[in-house]
Amino acid sequence: MALHFKRGNALLLLVPKTGSTWIRAKVKELGLDVEEVGDPAMREHDLLGAFDRSRYRWVGAFVRSPLEWYRSYWSYRMEKGWRPDYPLDEHCASEDFETFVRKAVTILPGALGNIYDSYVGKPGEEIDFVGRQENLAADFARFLSLIGEEPGALGDGGSRVNATKIRPDFTEELKELITVSEWQTMRRFGYLDDRPDPIGLAEMQDRFPAAADDLRLLTLWTEKIHWEPDDAKKRAGRPIRPETRHARVHSNFALYAQHKQKDMDYAQQRYRQALALDPRHPRTLCNYGMFLWEQRGDPEQARQLMLKALSGRPNHPYTLRKLALLTHRHHKDDELAEVLYRQSLAANDTQQDLRVEFAGFLAHRGKVQEALDFLRPDADGEQAGKLTHLMLASLVLRAGGSAQEAQAYRERAARVAVSTQSQGNGQA
């Protein structure tokens, strides 16, 4: 249901968790000529699309800072119970606030923005009045004045009629996650003004506006892939510093600028920002080293950065692999390169692209049969991709094997490629 103010022919939509119960109480207290309209099945929260806007002189609604909205929503559900017919409840329900937020920002990023759109309209199609729950009394008074009603004495809006008693801890990390997830909504309604931007997302989006949403999702993905190891370190008494989390995003932004946008100067700037935050972050050191080698023609500096990364993480598989590649291609020391490749595999032998690369390296060294024996067991694995089968086809022929076997691997490569493309289209 929504509120129809008869005197001014105004409609006030009641957005969940934005002070609706307080507004109802004040309307009754002031004795305003108001009727409930809409679908009773929607309880208090009919959407804008349920009404013919042309029938009303004014249409209004309230929003709330996404940071507090998510905390309030979770608290309410913890007291009243989850309702699986709502997407947030169906996919993100948890008795742990941190888990709820993590699910919400990765499974349904921007969910609150979609909710707000269904009440206030999309950008450029907004309703006549949008108030903020943080200024509930003052903004409701403005709404009443706008539609020709006497506001009366509303107080300061500080006494919440439907306030929850649960107040979960709200770490800065969770605030950052919600800020990124609801970035457009926070910008639209002025909630970014007092929020820090330690990853420089605004600058990144301004530089590459066509990729604004992809960059937001890249940020959330960067956070997500580190939760499991970060949580393990936290339990062991070694919490991750915020600077390290921010450095990871800067580093991925550098990779994006380098490989997707071909903006090398900006990529270098982002690498340097990442290392200013965490000078010993191994992946950033390694990626910046690769950048200096491939884009700036400085293999010696690249090698020094990779060695610095390994001084802190001697068994870092990614850095060992890239140092092996540098050692092979630039220094022409294949014996040392093989040692480094094997160390990388010993640290993590599940990376299929690394295994394919190592097989190709062995073949380059004339160890074709060894390469074939190394890679052949991978052919039936779940991770075997197109490159695995193509490499096997090449190795079979170089080892003097049958053309039929090589062709069989090529056909499997083609089937994998088609399957991968189909899955990608389905996800899109």
pLDDT in tens, the chain (428 residues): 899 999 999 999 999 999 999 999 999 999 999 999 998 776 667 899 999 999 999 999 999 999 999 999 999 999 999 999 999 999 999 999 999 999 999 999 999 999 999 999 999 999 999 999 999 999 999 999 999 998 876 665 544 555 667 788 899 999 999 999 999 999 999 999 999 999 999 999 999 999 999 999 999 999 999 999 999 999 999 999 999 999 999 999 999 999 999 999 999 999 999 999 999 999 999 999 999 999 999 999 999 999 999 999 999 999 999 999 999 999 999 999 999 999 999 999 889 999 999 999 999 999 999 999 999 999 988 888 999 999 999 999 999 999 999 999 999 999 988 876 766 554 43
128 three-class SS: coil
Give the tokens for residue 52: 């013919």
The whole-number pLDDT of residue 98 equals 97
Q: Report the side by side order of strands in the sheet with 129-132.
A: 34-37, 2-5, 10-12, 58-63, 129-132
Give the tokens for residue 368: 């074709």
Please check whether residue 111 is in contact with residue 100, taking contact to mean a CB–CB distance below 8 angstroms. no
The whole-number pLDDT of residue 203 equals 98
The whole-number pLDDT of residue 39 equals 82
The whole-number pLDDT of residue 166 equals 78
Task: State the burial class of residue 135 (Cβ atoms within 10 Å of its Cβ: 0-12, 13-18, 19+).
Answer: middle
The whole-number pLDDT of residue 427 equals 46
Q: Residue 240: left (phi > 0), alpha (psi -120 to 50), or beta? A: beta
Give the tokens for residue 275: 């290392």
The whole-number pLDDT of residue 108 equals 98
The whole-number pLDDT of residue 422 equals 62
Q: Which of 347, 348, 374 is nearest to 360 (CA)?
A: 374
Q: What is the pTM of this model?
A: 0.89
Q: Which of 5, 18, 84 is nearest to 45 (CA)?
A: 18
